[in-house]
Amino acid sequence: MNALAAVPPVRHTIVVEAPREHAFEVFTRGIDSWWFRDHSIGTEPLKEVVMEPREGGRVFERGIHGAECDWGRVLVWEPPSRLVVSWNIGGDWQFDPDLAHASEYEVRFIEEAPARTRVEFEHRHFERHGGAGQNIRDAVEKGWPKLLAAYGATAKAA
């Protein structure tokens, strides 16, 4: 591996066969409908994922007994075209309210046709996270097979 490699953002583009307003709606208010259930950092089993639909809104999980655990904040709220959310969870899987320690993801919704939306996704500034080293590597090794299995099950059920 090139030890000098820069840390580029994670970028993905997908095309959704749905109107732009709907795509934005499902990504934000509907986040609970597609979020992988085992991607949770709370002390209780995950009941729901909530994104408050406004700038400054909280993004958090709620456990089955009502305990809430923050994940980030809505930094930019421009329906139906653009969304920026901070990711305040570092390598130790704890919420850190300091935005200087948070990465962020931006989602752009671009209308390609009345019922087709191109979604451009970018998660950037990973270097702001402390504790990135061993904890994340452990998580990748232990957590990924589990996530893949969950995705397989979701895809089949849909």
Partner 1 sequence: MAIFERLERGPLSVGEIARNLPVTRSAVSQHLKILKDVGLVASQRAANRQIYRIDAEGVAGLRDYFDRFWQESLQAFKQAAEKSPKEKSR
Report the interface residues with partner 1, using CB under 8 A.
Answer: 1-8, 10, 12, 14-19, 21-23, 25-27, 30, 33-36, 39, 91, 105, 115, 119, 121, 123, 125-134, 136-137, 139-140, 144, 147-148, 151, 154-155, 158
The residues, ordered by sequence, that sit 6+ positions from 97 with a Cβ below 8 Å of its Cβ are 70, 88
* Distance in angstroms (rounded) separating the CA atoms of residues 11 and 9: 6
Q: Are 113 and 137 in contact (CB under 8 A)?
A: no
Residue 29 carries which side chain, given as an amino acid letter? R
Using the minimum distance from each CB to partner 1, give the nearer residue, 56 or 100.
Answer: 100
Q: Which of 102, 105, 109, 103 is nearest to 78 (CA)?
A: 109
Please give the Cα distance from 58 to 111 (Å, whole number).
27
Q: Minimum distance from CB of 59 to partner 1 (Å)?
A: 14
Q: How far is the CB of 110 from partner 1 (least distance, A)?
A: 14
- Closer residue to partner 1, CB minimum distance, 65 or 93: 93
Question: Minimum distance between the CB of residue 65 and partner 1, rounded to whole angstroms?
Answer: 25
At 105, list the tokens: 């993801």
C-beta of 67 vs 115, nearer to partner 1 = 115
Q: Smaller CB distance to partner 1: residue 66 or 133?
A: 133
